[in-house]
């Protein structure tokens, strides 16, 4: 199961998660970051790196944030990868 970035990331975008992600599967939507579920290898490195506890394994996303499972899928598929943005 991939990991999911939820509501606490909105407005924060600390990017500590991006720094530790070994497969560069984190995407920037402006207001928050999203994890591309098809690229995530479920290593969990991003979870302790997040200072606002916004990242969960998909199966552990709190009920109030379940909508972020689909948001991560939709947004990450159409957004630039943060690593690509930094190289330009």
Confidence of residue 84 (pLDDT cuts 50, 70, 90): low
Task: Residue 64: name the closest of 2, 8, 12, 3 by CA.
Answer: 8
Q: Where are the alpha helices (DSSP H) in the chain?
A: 16-20, 46-49, 67-78, 82-87
Q: Is the pLDDT of residue 83 over 70?
A: no
Q: pLDDT at position 77, please? A: 74
Q: pLDDT at position 28, please? A: 85
Count the neighbouring beta carbons within 10 Å of the beta carbon of residue 12.
14
Task: Give me the domains of the chain, ranges plus CATH numbers.
Answer: 3-79 (3.30.70.20)
* pLDDT tens track for 33-74: 999 999 999 999 999 999 999 999 999 999 999 999 999 888
CA distance 69 to 26: 14
């Amino acid at each position: 199961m991939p990991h999911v970035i939820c509501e606490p990331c909105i407005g924060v975008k600390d990017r500590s998660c991006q720094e530790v992600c070994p497969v560069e599967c984190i995407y920037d939507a402006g207001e928050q970051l999203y994890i591309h579920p098809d690229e995530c290898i479920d290593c969990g490195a991003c979870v302790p790196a997040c200072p606002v506890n916004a990242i969960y394994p998909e199966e552990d996303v709190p009920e109030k944030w379940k909508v972020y499972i689909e948001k991560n899928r939709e947004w990450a598929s159409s957004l630039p990868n943060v690593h690509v943005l930094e190289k330009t």
